[in-house]
Amino acid sequence: MGLNAPTPTAALVLRGRTYDAANPAVMAIVNRTPDSFWEGNRHHDLSAALDALHLAVADGADIVDVGGVRAGQEGPAVDAALERRRVLPFLEAARTAYPHLVLSLDTWRSEVAGAAEGVVDLINDTWAGHDPRLVHVAARIGAGIVCSHTGGLPPRTDPVAVRYATAEGDEEEALLRDVRAQLTGAARDALEAGIPRERILLDPTLDFGKTTRHSLSLLRRTSDVVALGFPVLQAISRKDFLGETLDLPVDQRLEAGLAATAVAAWQGATVFRTHDVLATRRVLDMVAVIRGDRAPQRTVRGEPGAAEG
């Protein structure tokens, strides 16, 4: 039995670069925090953050996403002033070092996004429009926007006993309806704010406002999010749903995340946010060949003209 045909996908265009399922983007993560959930991505020191940037670019990153606040509720509060101090020097140095690199800012605060005008290409709003001004600031500064789904939870809230089931259907279908409705509404708001369609990314936002079962369900239904007609971001790397599924600590979740990445890539996701750039790049390149979107980089063994091993 053959694989199902891949879902047609919309293109993402940022800084003159075009990405789609045939040419997916690797989004490297650089956390300017001392308390990131994974010790391997704590780059509170600027020089360490820039070292991580250089490595990510060398390993094949298309986009670099910087954040200054830990996503979960653990750790101290971070106000907007501290967040700016963490992310802006890095973004400015990154832009100087790599004029053509797509830079993304992970923030839910409009005042932080506004301070990055002229430097950043994408605002990664992982908290689903908690600050309603953020989408308008993104439009004003010419940046794209990531529209996310959190089930209504405010920033830095960990999901506990979250339910989506209704009288209209089971949990999986209710969750998918909620995700599609919220992402559709957020994309409409972005369009109305003046952000071009090709700069709008939809993120089902695994683990945010979701249990492990929810995240697994949405992963296997990636094509239903792709079908909304916008490019799709999947942030899978080392997340808790991987660890809970296979009972693995965060530093042992690489292979599980790569398997999940392949599933989402086959279904047409366009951007993959990751701590592990080189491994993710290779997985996406392989999936693109299997999908038929590109040819192998060298002659296939056994075909006419193949080199002898």
Identify whether 286 is part of a domain.
yes
Query: So what's the pLDDT on residue 137?
Result: 98
Helices (H), the chain: 46-58, 80-97, 110-115, 134-140, 171-193, 212-220, 222-226, 240-246, 254-266, 277-291
Using CA atoms, how far residue 7 sits from 178, 231, 234, 282, in Å, is 21, 12, 15, 21
- Could you tell me the sign of the dihedral formed by the alpha carbons of 207, 210, 216, 222, in that order? negative
Q: Is residue 20 part of a domain?
A: no
Among 66-70, 113-117, 139-143, 222-226, whose mean pLDDT is lowest?
66-70
pTM for the complete prediction?
0.92
User: Residue 257 is encoded by which pair of tokens?
Assistant: 């995340």
pLDDT at residue 284 in the model: 97
Residue 309 belongs to a domain:
no
- Return the minimum-mean-pLDDT range out of 7-16, 125-134, 157-166: 157-166
Residue 21 included in any domain = no
Domain span at residue 104 reads 28-291
pLDDT digits (tens, 9 = 90+) for 51-85: 999 999 999 999 999 999 988 777 788 999 999 99
Q: Which of 4-13, 25-34, 94-103, 112-121 has the lowest mean pLDDT?
A: 4-13
Neighbouring C-beta atoms of residue 290, cutoff 10 Å: 14
Domain assignment present for 234:
yes
Q: What is the CATH number of the domain that holds 220?
A: 3.20.20.20
> Count of domains in the chain?
1
pLDDT of residue 37: 57
Domain annotation covers residue 13: no
pLDDT, residue 40, reads 56
Q: What is the pLDDT of residue 45?
A: 86
pLDDT tens string 192-246: 999 999 999 999 999 999 999 999 999 999 999 999 999 999 999 999 999 999 9
**Confidence band (pLDDT; 50, 70, 90) for 1?**
very low
Burial 83-106 (b: 16+ CB within 10 A, else e): bbebbbebbebbbeeeeebbbbbb
Mean pLDDT of the chain: 91
Please indicate, yes or no, if residue 218 is contained in any of the structural domains. yes
pLDDT for 189 equals 98
Tokens of 132: 């309603």
Q: How far apart are CA 176 and CA 290, in angstroms?
A: 27
At residue 304, does pLDDT exceed 70? no
Q: Is residue 230 part of a domain?
A: yes
> In the predicted model, is pLDDT for residue 309 greater than 90?
no
Question: In what side-by-side order are the strands of the sheet with 102-106?
Answer: 200-203, 144-148, 122-124, 102-106, 63-67, 25-31, 271-274, 233-235
Please give the structure tokens belonging to residue 165.
Answer: 């089931």
